[in-house]
Amino acid sequence: MMIYHDISMMLNLHYVFAASCSQPKTEADSKDITGHPHDDKTRSYLCTVCHKRFTTKSQLTSHSKRHTGENVYLCTQCEKRFSSRYGLCYHMNIHTGKYKCTECDRCCGSSKDLAVHRRSHSGEKPFECTVCNKRFTTSGDLVAHSRIHSGEKPYKCHVCKKAFSQCSTLHSHMRVHTGDKPYDCPYCGKLFKTNSELKRHVRIHTGAKPYSCRHCSQRFTRHHHLKRHLLKSHNEGSWFTCNICQKKFTASSSLKEHLLRHAGVKPYVCNRCPKRFFTVCYLKRHQLVHSDYKQFCCGLCGKDYKEKDTVKRHFRKCSNKLRFSDV
């Protein structure tokens, strides 16, 4: 059974590639170009770093600054920098709340982004795959999904040569080599590789639940929690069924893990010992055994723990002790 992967969210524009990246060049300067460079319908200018195409040389020049780190436009409110005036203006719309969602108060950079965001509340998916009929909220998600069927992986890491089907996935992968975590939580200071990871984390502090069920009053912190609720409570969506034992799952990732168990395959190996695991999540949890780092802290007594689940259990006990001691 074909298994589909969730599409990652697009990263912020100010990401800086490693210094070893070569300067972007235009494909229009080579003899291999087809079509007139001034034809608006022909994207003749190719960025040699991320392989994105542009219709004019000025667009490519502006884009190339994102890779070289030439971010000259400064936001006076949060001090983020941008490579173009357009990027700064787009970003400022988020601060001003010009395009604000009336359901969850999220601020977007443009009316188009707001329209796409609203589909997360309405469940609208206007773009359909002609191969498997899976539907998507944006055309970009559909294009990225179609590469599952074609096997196309046009974005290649210049360090380890690993190939990816999405440019955003390549950007995220590059931070494996650089160790860069540019997004920090304003509440606890924890660092993250992507803006989407930071946004999900911040909801732990704010308690925000931006995903609401259109059938009942329940709200959720993550979109896949809403999808699971719609499937289980309202029979909306499609189950993922194991073709071996017919067990049903709400997420393709759960089915993928389940199939690995049938096959007895443990593809994730610890780099400190010979132990192997079915999922990268189990591997990361195991690797804490080899580390003394305790990243989770009880907000009541200050005791540190390695795992989130452990600190949650402790926090409940700690809060009960305080409550009974006050009686």
Is pLDDT above 60 for 39? no
Give this prediction's pTM: 0.47
Query: pLDDT by residue (tens digit) across 71-80?
Result: 667 888 887 7
Parent domain of 291: 268-308
Q: How far apart are CA 3 and CA 118, in angstroms?
A: 27
Contact between residue 65 and residue 86 where contact means Cβ atoms under 8 Å apart = no
Tokens of 139: 């055309």
Cα dihedral 56, 61, 66, 70 in deg (nearest 10): -160
Min mean pLDDT across 15-19, 55-59, 103-107, 223-227 is at 15-19
Q: Are 81 and 75 in contact (CB under 8 A)?
A: yes
**SS3 readout for 243-278:** CCCCCEECCHHHHHHHHHHHHCCCCEECCCCCCEEC
pLDDT digit string (tens) for 237-273?
888 899 999 999 888 888 988 998 899 888 889 888 9
Does the residue 290 lie in any domain?
yes
pLDDT, residue 326, reads: 59
User: What tokens does 116 get?
Assistant: 């796409």
In a domain, 280, yes or no: yes
Evaluate if residue 6 carries a pLDDT over 50.
Answer: no
What confidence score (pLDDT) does residue 221 get? 87
How big is the chain, counted in residues? 327
Whether pLDDT at 20 is above 70: no
Q: What is the pLDDT of residues 271-280, one digit of tens each?
A: 889 999 988 8
What pLDDT was estimated at residue 16?
31
- Asked if 68 and 28 touch (Cβ cutoff 8 Å), the reply is no
Domain-located, residue 304: yes
Within-domain flag for 115: no
Residue bearing the bigger pLDDT, 21 or 156: 156
pLDDT band of 66, cuts 50, 70, 90: low
* Average pLDDT over every residue of 39-43: 53
Rounded Cα–Cα distance for residues 179 and 175 (Å): 5
Q: Is residue 5 in a domain?
A: no
First to last CA, the chain: 58
pLDDT class for 285, splitting at 50, 70, 90? confident
- The answer as to whether 242 is a domain residue is no
The answer, yes or no, to whether residue 9 has pLDDT greater than 60, is: no
Identity at 251, one-letter amino acid code: A
Residue 37 has a pLDDT of: 37
Q: 46-57 burial by CB neighbour count: b if 16+ within 10 A, else e?
A: bbbbbebebbee
Judge whether 33 lies within some domain: no
The most confident of the ranges 38-42, 129-133, 297-301 is: 129-133
Residue 229: the pLDDT is: 92
Q: Does the residue 282 lie in any domain?
A: yes
Q: What DSSP string describes 108-142?
A: ESSHHHHHHHHHHHH----EE-TTT--EESSHHHH
- Residue 7's pLDDT is 32
Count of CB atoms situated within 10 Å of the CB of 130:
8
Q: Percentage of residues in the chain with pLDDT exceeding 70?
A: 83
Identify the pLDDT of residue 218: 92
Amino acid at 134: K
- Mean pLDDT, the chain, as a whole number? 78
Give which of 59, 56, 82, 57 is closest to 69, Cα–Cα: 82
Contacts of residue 183, Cβ cutoff 8 Å, sequence gap at least 6: 191, 192, 193, 194, 195, 197, 198
pLDDT in tens, 186-216: 888 888 888 888 888 888 888 888 888 989 9
| Number of domains composing the chain | 1
Give the pLDDT score at 243.
93
- The better pLDDT of the pair 110, 17 is held by 110
Give me the DSSP letters along 287-322: HGGG-----EE-TTT--EESSHHHHHHHHHHHHHHH
Q: How far apart are CA 139 and CA 112, in angstroms?
A: 12
Give 81's strand partners.
74
